[in-house]
Amino acid sequence: MGKYPLLEKVNYPDDLKNLSVDQLKQLAEELRQFIIESISRTPGHFGASLGVVELTVALHYVFNTPYDRIVWDVGHQAYGHKILTGRRENFHTLRQLNGISGFPSIFESEYDTFGVGHSSTSISAALGMAIASQLKNEDRQVVAVIGDGAMTAGLAFEGLNNVGTTNANILVILNDNNMAIDPNVGGLSRYLVNFTTSKTYNKIRDEIWNLLDKGKSGKEMRNFLKNLESGFKSALLQQSNFFEGMNLRYFGPIDGHDLPLLIKTLQQLKDIKGPKLLHIKTQKGKGYKYAEEDQPKWHSTSVPFDVKTGKPLVQNDGPKPPKFQDVFGETIIELAEKNDKIVGITPAMPTGSSLKYMMKKIPDRAFDVGIAEQHAVTFAAGLAKEGIIPFVTIYSTFLQRAYDQVIHDVAIQNLHVVFCIDRGGLVGADGATHHGVFDISFMRIVPNMVVSAPMDEIEMRNLMYTAQLEKNNFPFAIRYPRGRGVTIDWKMPMQEVEIGKGRKLKDGKDAVILSIGFIGQEAKKAIEKLEADGLSVAHYDMRFVKPLDEDILREVFNSFDKIITVEENVEQGGFGSAVLEFMNKNGYKKDVLVIGIPDEFIEHGKPEELRQLAGIDSESIYSRTKNFILNTTNVVENVGKMHSDN
């Protein structure tokens, strides 16, 4: 018998149907231990999936998946789901190149009913599926599992608002663990805590379940529910049910780790038609001591760890350059201590963005607004309108969710909001949903917007300093990557950078590379290899995508016949496109090679692997540039597919 005697027999959900409830409880414990041991070797998201082990088992036991649809929100809850749906033997490839995704993917399994990486999409998607089933006369159950703070996002409320106007057969399960990556914030979080601890509510709830247990007659049940409907809200007075007010039948809260109760409840709810919501209480990181005690830390793991001690299995090999997020986190404090108009804002990412440092040191000027990117940007606009200087620290792909607010509320009004765009470029194991490869393109086309990208930590500090100066009272974006920089001694005195001005890093005569942002470090390595081959290549760090340094561009186009642009952004509409636009506008006719992310979604893997696949690592830049210098014959080339120019 193996280490996981029951789990090893469960390859697909149908295998659950033959197990007793006691066996299912054992299976849940085996599943939890399997996740813990697997992630200890192959890092990934951790706490969220541990919190929904019992729910995962119950859902696949009660419902007829994949015919019945389960839509997972915040996809890092779905590891147990993946393991129970045919991917246990491949789970060791999680988030690795050519391995299984860390999130549900419709291309990976029919059990993954909807692709998700960002939060709060489950209710809307599930409603679409439920209405589609009605239109096709299908008797299909549709379940949306929303949790980890996702209920705070506007999209979730939009979905709920629409669900309540339909008779769709949809069950929303609110996985209430009072956590996103960091603790949940805001009125809804407080409401759920107060609501679930109300003595009056719980007394009534117990009466409901006791009545169901005793099998009361239909007439008696109807009378009871009628009385309950008329008296429930008045009994609770100040704690009326928000969800019932949106015309969803509300059930719970129940213990999300009580597997028999979950199974019984889901079986009963299957027979109740129409929109309904089940509220379950769970603990993020359940079953692993260290994850229970420090939930933000154990939201995700980045390195292998010892299961017994929780300690990383890595050696401390001396001082390292800082993470760019920490450069932001410490620099904003330095700036805020000297400028009392500065505030920091993050949508639910104080740890990931390192705004947590400011929240601890200057708490009245640092705001976590929850998973609410649109609100974060318009909140910042309101602050800026009144003379405050907000720094909105936000992941590149999360900013996509607030693009209308960037244009409508900030840029049109030319307000002094500083966007610190974290995770710009290829981020690695989270894959296509999290690669920040569109921001240069979508930000540079916005009027009034300054768009910059530092090549190193010192440049980032200088750009942050420049952005907060009173005279620069317009929208200002600073885009930087995930991970560590290159400078050990980075806390240099900050200096103003002239807006729209790049810098020459190296002279050359055969060709010139114009780079933007941290990818310039890869270009620098490529140039060293080209020099070793006897090719002389100049290098400019442009620093700004908008406004472009037209003085440098004129110098370049007047001096070189072969020009290469390098960016860690999609080629379409990005930095290279801006250079081509300048060339066309000013009547130059030179050979230009645009090196960037090709026109396709890049999947998951290590950042260095993905840069190689996309043709933007130092080796690729070297070979593509060398080939371009030696073989180009007076054409403008804009690379469209991986390595298509090689």
CATH code at 567?
Answer: 3.40.50.920
In this structure, are residues 64 and 133 in contact, taking their beta carbons and an 8 Å threshold? no
Domain-embedded: residue 164: yes
Domain count of the fold of the chain? 3
Query: Tokens 């990486």 appear where?
Result: 117
| pTM listed for this prediction | 0.84
In sequence order, what E strands does 92-183 have? 142-147, 170-176
Structure confidence at residue 645 (pLDDT): 46
CATH no. for residue 330? 3.40.50.970
Annotated active-site residue 401? The verdict is yes
Domain-embedded: residue 487: no
- Mention every residue, 6+ apart, whose C-beta is less than 8 A from residue 260: 21, 25
Domain-embedded: residue 170: yes
Domain-embedded: residue 553: yes
Q: Which of 30, 69, 87, 373 is catalytic?
A: 373
Q: Are strands 562-570 and 544-546 parallel, antiparallel or unpaired?
A: unpaired
Same domain, 457 and 510: no
pLDDT digits (tens, 9 = 90+) for 573-589: 999 999 999 999 999 99
Write out the two tokens for 27: 């299976």
Q: Which of 82, 281, 284, 546 is catalytic?
A: 284
**Which residue in 526, 520, 517 sits closest to 625, CA to CA?**
526
pLDDT digits (tens, 9 = 90+) for 323-367: 999 999 999 999 999 999 999 999 989 999 999 999 999 999 999
Q: Within its chain, how far is the Cα of 78 from the centroid? A: 15
Task: State the residue range of the domain holding 527.
Answer: 503-638
Same domain, 507 and 475: no
Cis peptide before 253 (omega within 30 of 0): yes
Same domain, 156 and 238: yes
| pLDDT interval class at 303 (50, 70, 90) | confident
Is a pLDDT exceeding 50 seen at residue 233? no
Domain-embedded: residue 312: no
Same domain, 449 and 557: no
Annotated active-site residue 373? The verdict is yes
Same domain, 444 and 515: no
Same domain, 519 and 468: no
Is a pLDDT exceeding 90 seen at residue 416? yes
Write out the two tokens for 366: 């640092």
Is a pLDDT exceeding 50 seen at residue 237? no
Q: If 0-12 CB within 10 Å is exposed, 13-18 middle and 19+ buried, where does residue 198 land? A: middle
Same domain, 207 and 331: no
Q: How many residues does the chain have?
A: 646
Domain-embedded: residue 275: yes
Domain-embedded: residue 127: yes
Structure confidence at residue 488 (pLDDT): 92
Annotated active-site residue 284? The verdict is yes
What DSSP character marks residue 634?
Answer: S
Is a pLDDT exceeding 60 seen at residue 34? yes
Same domain, 461 and 511: no
| pLDDT interval class at 221 (50, 70, 90) | low
Same domain, 108 and 253: yes
Q: Within its chain, how far is the Cα of 415 from the centroid? A: 26
Domain-embedded: residue 496: no
Is a pLDDT exceeding 60 seen at residue 239? no
Mean pLDDT of the chain: 88
In angstroms, what is the C-alpha Rg of the chain? Answer: 27
Q: Rounded to whole angstroms, what are the CA distances from 529 to 253, 533, 639, 642?
A: 63, 7, 22, 21
